[in-house]
Amino acid sequence: MSRIGRKEIVIPENVEVMINENKIKVKSNKGELYYELSTLIDIEKRDNKITLKKKCTTQQARAIHGLSRSIINNMIVGVSKGFEKKLVIQGIGYRSQIENKNLILNIGYSHPVIIRPPKNIQITVENNTNITVHGISKETVGQIAAQIRSVRKPEPYKGKGIKYINEQIIRKVGKAGK
């Protein structure tokens, strides 16, 4: 039995959860998220707690049990607290800026790279090199942060590029001189 799937999900006071058969809607003042559960999982809400149970013991049901619990928990955390990812730009002349909610990256290409975030994602820039991605959906925040990083991944020789704030770049030794 899944250790994660067995855990109860506690609903905070400012979060409203509506369950209709296998569809879940999580709502608060920050926004709302939707999720459709698999037919292999039963969901039950009592007071301010949600529990998930498997209908059968197949391999697929066991796999989806913990996954569904994690997704619903992330939805509740997202609408109550939110998620954020921080990135850092390293390199001489590399910079970023916000213009009309779009992120503009000048990172060594012949043209600026423009990234348009979805409607529920906010991007902020501090000191032209620190980028923060905020949102209520953990999946979307991670996807946008990965998209920004993929524009110029950090290279191993000088460490130039866009990296996550806590990412360690393994450096390589350059060409040896004579």
Whether residue 178 lies inside any domain: the answer is: no
Whether residue 146 lies inside any domain: the answer is: yes
Reported as a single tens digit per residue, the pLDDT across 42-82 is 888 888 898 888 888 888 888 899 899 899 999 999 999 99
Q: Which CATH number belongs to the domain containing residue 49 in this structure?
A: 3.90.930.12
Per-residue pLDDT, averaged over 3-28, amounts to 87
Whether residue 92 lies inside any domain: the answer is: yes
CA 62 to chain centre: 24
Q: What confidence score (pLDDT) does residue 98 get? A: 93
Reported as a single tens digit per residue, the pLDDT across 160-170 is 999 999 989 88
Residues 8 and 70 both lie in one domain? yes
Whether residue 141 lies inside any domain: the answer is: yes
Residue 177 phi/psi, 5-degree rounding, is: -80, 165
Token pair of 71 as six digits: 């997704």
Reported as a single tens digit per residue, the pLDDT across 84-119 is 999 999 989 899 999 998 999 999 889 999 999 998
Whether residue 160 lies inside any domain: the answer is: yes
Q: How far apart are CA 150 and CA 4, in angstroms?
A: 32
Q: What confidence score (pLDDT) does residue 124 get? A: 93
Whether residue 173 lies inside any domain: the answer is: no
Residues 17 and 61 both lie in one domain? yes
In this model, does residue 7 exceed pLDDT 70?
Answer: yes
Whether residue 101 lies inside any domain: the answer is: yes
In this model, does residue 1 exceed pLDDT 90?
Answer: no
Q: How far apart are CA 145 and CA 110, in angstroms?
A: 22
Burial category of 87 from C-beta neighbours within 10 Å (exposed 0-12, middle 13-18, buried 19 and up): buried
Structural domain count, the chain: 2
**CA angle, residues 137, 85, 132, in degrees to nearest 5:** 110
Domain of 104, in residue numbers:
83-164
Residue where one domain finishes, among candidates 35, 55, 80: 80
Q: How far apart are CA 54 and CA 154, in angstroms?
A: 43
Residue where one domain finishes, among candidates 30, 49, 80: 80
Residue where one domain finishes, among candidates 49, 65, 80: 80
Contact between 154 and 162 (Cβ < 8 Å): yes
Token pair of 4 as six digits: 């994660």
CA 132 to chain centre: 12
Residues 111 and 63 both lie in one domain? no
